[in-house]
Amino acid sequence: MTPTALFALVVNLVAVAAITGLFANAGKMFGPKSIRQGDADMPYEAGLPPLSSAHERMTVLYHRFAVLFVVFDVDLAFLLPWALNRPRLDLTAMIAMTAFTLIVLFMLAYFWRKGALECR
């Protein structure tokens, strides 16, 4: 790895850390400062004391959407290089990518039909 590449990597890492840190903490940093006053800080649940922590575990249903998202996200990772190289590719590549997209579409239809997209 050349020093330039290493430097670029470090810059990238720092930038990623800074931007995500900014997003995660922007509210705390720039928002109006709250005045700490005991019970008033608690989440409001119709005047009742909160029943449980706000930081609950996610159900596995949410996980299913995450997996589905990853599937279609990875498909995009295949589509983009293909689209960029499209002028130089022949008919075979066109057919291959069409078949690939059709398979993905079929799987989407399958998930839909099997009720994997229901918000329950």
Partner 1 sequence: MNALAPQAALAAGVFAALGLGVMRRPSALVVRVLTLAVPVIALLLMRQLLPSATGLLIVADVKGLCWQLVIVAAALPLAALLPGDDVEAALFLGSLLGMSLLAVSGNLLMMFLSLEFMSLPAYLLVARAGTGSGERRLEAAVKYFFAGALAGAFFLLGLALYYAHSRSLTFTDQPLGFQGQAGLALMAVAALFKIGAVPLHWWLPDVYEAASPEVAGFLSTAMKSAAVLFLMRVTALAPMPVFAVALPWIGAITALIGSLLALRQQRLQRLLAYSSLAHAGLLVLGVGAWQALGRDPAAASSLLFYLGVYALLSNGAFIFLRASGVETRADLRGYAVRQPGLAAAFAVLLAALAGIPPTGGFVAKLLILWQALRAQAAIPAILAAVSALISLGYYLGLVRDAYFEEPSGPAPRTGDSWARIAVLACAIGAVVLGAAPLFLNGFTGRIWR
> Could you say which residues in the range 50-109 bind partner 1, by CB under 8 A?
103, 106-107, 109
Helix (H, G, I), strand (E, B) or coil at 4: helix
Residue 36 touching partner 1 (CB under 8 A):
no
C-beta separation of 50 from 42 below 8 A? yes
Residue 113 is a binding residue for partner 1 (CB under 8 A): yes
Could you say whether residue 1 binds partner 1 (CB under 8 A)? no
For 12, half-sphere exposure in the C-beta direction (CA atoms, 13 angstrom radius) is 6
Q: Which residues bind partner 1 (CB under 8 A)?
A: 103, 106-107, 109-110, 113-114
